[in-house]
Structure 1
Amino acid sequence: MTLLALFSAALLSTVPAEPAPRYALVVGNNEGAPQRSRLWFAERDADRVARALVELGGFPEEQVVVLRGQGAQAVRQALARLEQRIARSTARERSLLVFYYSGHADAAALELGRQRMSFDELRGLTTRSSAAAKVVLVDACQSGALTQVKGTRALPSLDFPLPAPGDAVRGVAFVASTAMGEAAQESAALGGSFFSHHLEVALRGAGDSDGDGTVTLTEAFKYTAHQTVVGTSATVRGAQHPTYDVKMSGRGDVVLSELRRAEARLVLPKDGSGLYLVRGGPGVLAEISGSPQGLTLGLPAGRYEIQRREGKRRTGGQVVLAAGETRQLEGMVALGLEEAAAKGDERVEVLAGGALITGLLPGFGASFAARVGMSRFVGGARLRLRLDAFDHEGRQGALQYRLRGLSGAVAGLHGVGVGRRILLEVGPELGGTWASQKTSEARWSAPMWSAGAVAGISLRLGDEARLALEVAGAALAVPINRQWKLRPGLTTALALGYGF
């Protein structure tokens, strides 16, 4: 039997008339060995996966154990207690045990703070469980040691037979977020690791490739693996390749989640080219690729902000889901600048234009400057960097002079929209200038420092461009006759921005 045939046959389970007992141990630990840097999202990943299993997977809350920041001994004890409950169950021949871990690991073991649990021990503990089916999911660096896969493995693409009543799957499936030697990567934008984020999204319905309202282990793995590879391919560390090792027998599909169990459902339209960002509810943040067949997401009831991205275009809208409601996503509108900022626009904008600078030196009037810069929305504010170059010739009385230099500054701007084309912004700005003055009598050069505020108005020109007018007032620290003196400065700038 080929490996793919074995895998397709192995991931099979029945959906019995009576609910099969389901148990889960979900572990997250941000701390690794003493030399390891602290992870940001491992414990949060565990909470989100556990919530998805309870909401959508038919796992009773009292049969899902979540360990945050605890060591290997606590994991052993929790597994032992679950095993006692499974062994006492009269339906253990149909039972399912899911073990999930997010945290640090090396090539030999999970690192739970200063304590370790070897992959061999984890394999033994889960394989010996009296549960009929065991699924082990490990999201950690070098977790490919659990599956013994050194490189990429083709994903299963076979169709599965319909479940046959009375059949049951038996055995164990190990799924790792990486191949051997690879790093598991976190994403600040996603608020979690790539693998765990896409696993949760798969369980919430994005993995339902056949549209039958259920997400099987195979579907969840295929979706999560593909999205993880795509999401990490452009990172510094390179693509991360989830792997598997399955030793199971039976018929049917191991169902990990059922959308009918969701408190509410959001139906995304048929869309093979868009990327959807869903925020809201009790801690839900999902980045989902659109599907030509459409998608149904199982979500908690609540208010959600939805943004669709396709290239440089952004549309968005709000949806309020009531308990028990299934709602179609519709009414999306083009986003204005401030709306894109609030919903996490990740485009980088380049700026080019001109500025008029006054106050550099007493009595020297205004200097024209050429301006270039860039900006990006970060956490709802626009972070703007600019560089002005000026070269000014003039006369003060009988004195002929030339003033030239470079001025740079960084500003954090918060905006308020006026309609969909106009944005008003204001925020602080810090900067520095290196100026050189030359007269017929002397040459002088020195740095200057500035702190002040910027106010601006932007006019949107299509989806990518805007015309921005800014006025910045600042206190300039200027060295005059070897003494630092404060002078008022004013800069007025007009620039064209283009987002990529």
Structure 2
Amino acid sequence: MTRPAAIAVALSILALGAPGRALAAARYAVVVGSNAGATGRPRLWFAEKDAERFRRVLVELGEFQPGDVQLLEGVGAKRVREAIARAEAAMEVARAGGEHPLFVFYFSGHAASGGIELGDERVSFGELRSLVTGTSADAKVAIVDACEAGLLTQVKGAAAVPTLEFALPTSDTVRGTAFIASTAEGESAQESAAIGGSFFTHHLEVALRGAGDADGDGLVTLGEAFRYTAAQTLAGTLATAEGAQHATYEFRMSGRGDVVLADLRRADARLTVPRDPGTTYVLRGPMSLLAEVTAGEKPITLALPAGPYHVERRSREGRATAELELGHGAVETMPPLAPSRYELARAKGGPKPGLLFAGFGAMALGLPGFGAAPVVRLGVRKEVGPIGLRVRLDYLGKAVNDAGVRYDLGYVGGAVAALYPLNTSRILVEAGPELGYGYATQRLADRRSFGSNVFWGGAALMATAPVGRLRVGLDAALGADLLRLDFRTAVRPAASLSFLVLWGF
């Protein structure tokens, strides 16, 4: 039997009763997160946050009562031992009442060959093994996501030692025991600032929220959750600096049935991701929830808290976004999401959503004898949905000879354009209406001066292309100015053309 097949068979027969049975009533968990390891270890970013998220999904979907899930953050070894002892006392009472308890232990933090680290204190893997297997629960699950700190993609290392294989006791009284680690021997586990947690725990939460429900029965079992989490953790770390990460397991069990960890029917709201091979959906929702789901050949139903969601669809042809509101009890299907023309252009090397620019060119105000004057231009362009808002500021000055009347003219102004992409390539052409305002001053040779408001309306055209890490382009406008000329209101043709250098953000 192949190793993947062995995983599927072994984890599917952890005993809590008959297959497909609803969640057991007596469920207890100790969830531990520690950002601090031994002296000299850098603090982790997300270990305690990982623990909070795991506790939340157990209570929300796993039929764990809030008082039966102990969340410990930044505590010492004594507190962990005491928490397991409290859970054991509760399980003994439950067993006396005819229940079949399930016990889950979870840890996220630093680890070394000596065991999990809780600041300068440790619980050895041998002791952890004994504490978990020594409980009176019918089924016992221990999950260790052990990590060391880094920066963006953080190196979290369960050390490459045989103790991570979690050798289990041979007692036949244990009906079901599973130990799961986020790494294989000799590997580093990793966490990511982009997903705000460890790869492993992030994908474990997403699995329990429905992505791991391989058979579509609305229940996520331990076997389904492990298979999904292991596969997604591997896929998510293949391109990191530390390389691929393989989740591992060790178990001993008897009986039949499966440990059901999540019942999607308990969800506050449900959202179905459609069949969409080759795409990834990223959901950001209430309570800082973040779910990154790879769509496949079958729809995926996610169990989520009610509230507002920002959804992003990522695919080879670009990205698309939407805002959703999931009400309490809602059962929704993800609306069709298609990338905008800007997003299609960006997939081919087009500009970033925001651009700062500076440049120079020429501007014609349509005044008698004025012609064109050199202009300095600064501005910003920012995509807002299907359009690009472009704001420019201009300054020009010129000495003018109007039929023998000499004067100096200065102009300061700005304009806002709503641009729409005319194509979808890395060389992007945009056009749209533009409105602006400026102020012109006229200073005669005898030092008399006059001023006028200048209102501008017309059409703008912007074409940019990549050059190394920057972009270069042309910014053109054609329209008319409304201003005071010879003490009367006049409309005069006007135009500008500038060469720009742009920086994306």
Q: TM-score range by the shorter chain?
A: 0.5 to 0.7
Q: What SS does the corresponding residue of 1:334 show, helix, strand or coil?
A: coil
Identity of aligned residues (%): 46
Task: Give the letter aligned to residue 110 of structure 1.
Answer: I
1:317 aligns with 2:322: yes
Residues 14-33 of structure 1 show CA distances to partners (whole Å, capped at 9, x for unaligned) of 26578430001111111111
How far is 1:459 from its partner? 5.6
1:242 aligns with 2:204: no
Q: What SS does the corresponding residue of 1:201 show, helix, strand or coil?
A: helix
Q: Contact 2:314 / 2:320 at 8 angstroms: preserved in 1?
A: yes
1:332 aligns with 2:337: yes
How far is 1:145 from its partner? 4.9
Figure out how many residues of one structure are paired with residues of the other and give that number.
Answer: 380
Q: Contact 2:13 / 2:255 at 8 angstroms: preserved in 1?
A: yes
> Structure 1 residue runs of 4+, over 2 Å off?
8-20, 90-93, 143-150, 331-337, 347-351, 382-386, 411-417, 421-427, 455-461, 463-471, 494-497
Q: What SS does the corresponding residue of 1:282 show, helix, strand or coil?
A: helix
Residues 398-449 of structure 1 show CA distances to partners (whole Å, capped at 9, x for unaligned) of xxxxxxxxxxxxx9978352x614243799xxxxxxxxxxxxxxxxxxxxxx
Q: Residues 86-485 of structure 1 correspond to what in structure 2 (within 5 A)?
A: 86-89=91-94, 90-91=96-97, 94-140=100-146, 141-142=157-158, 145=161, 148-149=164-165, 170-335=175-340, 337=342, 382=354, 415=382, 417=384, 420-424=386-390, 460=421, 461-462=423-424, 466=428, 467-468=463-464
* Whole-angstrom distance in 2 between the partners of 1:170 and 1:74: 27
How far is 1:492 from its partner? 4.4
* Whole-angstrom distance in 2 between the partners of 1:426 and 1:286: 38
* Whole-angstrom distance in 2 between the partners of 1:414 and 1:199: 40
Distance 1:330 1:284, change over 3 A: same
TM score, norm. by length of structure 1:
0.68
Mean Cα deviation higher: 189-198 or 247-256: 247-256
Q: Contact 2:125 / 2:164 at 8 angstroms: preserved in 1?
A: no
How far is 1:108 from its partner? 2.6
Q: Paired residue for 1:493?
A: 500
| Structure 2 residue runs without a partner (length 5+) | 147-156, 167-172, 360-377, 394-415, 429-462, 465-472, 476-497
Q: What SS does the corresponding residue of 2:32 show, helix, strand or coil?
A: strand
* Whole-angstrom distance in 2 between the partners of 1:308 and 1:215: 24
1:50 aligns with 2:66: no
* Whole-angstrom distance in 1 between the partners of 2:98 and 2:123: 26
Distance 1:189 1:495, change over 3 A: same
Q: What SS does the corresponding residue of 2:189 show, helix, strand or coil?
A: coil
Q: Contact 1:425 / 1:457 at 8 angstroms: preserved in 2?
A: no
Mean Cα deviation higher: 139-148 or 456-465: 456-465
How far is 1:319 from its partner? 1.6
How far is 1:144 from its partner? 6.7
Q: What SS does the corresponding residue of 1:110 show, helix, strand or coil?
A: strand
Q: Contact 2:380 / 2:390 at 8 angstroms: preserved in 1?
A: no
Distance 1:17 1:227, change over 3 A: closer
Aligned-pair RMSD on alpha carbons? 3.7
Q: Contact 2:29 / 2:103 at 8 angstroms: preserved in 1?
A: yes
How far is 1:142 from its partner? 1.6
Mean Cα deviation higher: 201-210 or 263-272: 263-272
Distance 1:295 1:85, change over 3 A: same
Q: Paired residue for 1:80?
A: 85
Residues 172-206 of structure 1 show CA distances to partners (whole Å, capped at 9, x for unaligned) of 10000001222111111111100000000000000
